[in-house]
Amino acid sequence: MGKRIKPRKNEAGYALVTVLILLIVAGLILVPLLLLMTTSIKSAQLQEDIMQRFYAADAGIEDAVYKIQNVDANLPPSADDPPYQYTIADINGNEVAVTIEHIWILEGFEVEDEHQGTEPHSALVTTGHTTEAGTYQIDIAYDGAKGNLWINRIGIWLPSGFSYVAGTSAAVTTLTQDIDETVTIIPVASTALFPPTGVLHIEDELIEYSDTDNAAFTGCTRGADNTIAAPHSSGATVSGTLVTAAPTESPFRDGKAYVWDFDPAVNFNSGAGPPYVHGLSFQFTPADEDPEGAFSWARTNRHDIYLTWDLDVAIYGVTATAGGTTVISYIMGPDPLDIVTYTYESQ
């Protein structure tokens, strides 16, 4: 038989101490671990609640977009009208408060005149459009009703992703009569935005001119720079150097604003009219895309016709709040309205 080994004296006490030490160590590890797990669960739940509120607020934005696209009768027709406010009862268990505000198109860039407010004057109309791939033209028409009208600024806003191509600013007008290849006086709708001397571009011909009057370029040399003098029809586009320097660029509403300042100001009560039509063109990139939502404007030296802007563009500011989360979206576009700027700001 084997020999029985008797436990040494106090060995049981040592075992108890070891067990107690292990329990203490386990407690030191497990308690923080349990607390961490509890905190993680609460954090995950909080994140889930935040995301549910965000999705609910986002659904409120989508509902407002639908109302804007479908021209809801409750939409404010102008920036001077009160916003449209309504509530959606239950989205993901949240009540969503929605506000649709019609924003003045130049808010934050130009200062409205107290005499004109935020509605343009019918005597002065500004429009903008793409004439060909990568080229944008701003046209300003004045009916002459207020006499001399001096323009000191023309501007354009391009949406995010689009940029002005440096050195491409041009004055634009049209021929008012047919011309043959020999005439040295070129009749046009306006010379207001052209310098006193320069070079014209009509179709494939370059024409140097030495002087201007309100509605013609004079002292012309046809077929300049080895181009061929040719007949041109009334209505043909005439372009040339712009009288002012390159535009200044500044960030504005998630896109870029480009502004041409004229010093001295240009008299738009001139040319073959009324109406007196003056044009400015430039190139943009990317040229293979259309800058939907772009808008143009002009500023004058008068208080009653201080600002004019492109009325084909509307801007709405939409705020949707669910719980403690607010989502803000700016919706811009031509009529019919397209969504071209869609910015979230979560609070």
* pLDDT, position 74: 93
* pLDDT, position 80: 85
pLDDT (tens digit per residue) in 8-50: 555 556 666 676 677 676 666 766 666 666 666 656 665 777 7
* pLDDT, position 186: 97
Residue 88 in contact with residue 63, Cβ under 8 Å?
Answer: yes
* pLDDT, position 35: 65
* pLDDT, position 78: 84
* pLDDT, position 252: 87
* pLDDT, position 120: 77
SS (H, E, C) 166-193: CCCCEEEEEECCCECCCCCCEEECCCCC
pLDDT (tens digit per residue) in 193-246: 999 999 999 999 999 999 999 899 999 999 999 999 999 999 999 999 998 878
For residue 181, what are the contacts with CB-CB under 8 A and spacing of at least 6? 222, 223, 229, 230, 231
Average pLDDT of the chain to the nearest whole number: 85
Residue 341 in contact with residue 152, Cβ under 8 Å?
Answer: no
pLDDT (tens digit per residue) in 235-254: 999 999 998 878 999 998 77
Q: pLDDT over 90 for what percent of the chain?
A: 50
* pLDDT, position 33: 66
Task: Note the pTM of the prediction, 2 decimals.
Answer: 0.75
Q: pLDDT over 70 for what percent of the chain?
A: 82
Q: How far apart, in whole angstroms, are the C-alpha atoms of residue 134 and residue 275?
A: 28
- Whether residue 342 is predicted with pLDDT greater than 90 in this model: the reply is no
- Whether residue 2 is predicted with pLDDT greater than 80 in this model: the reply is no
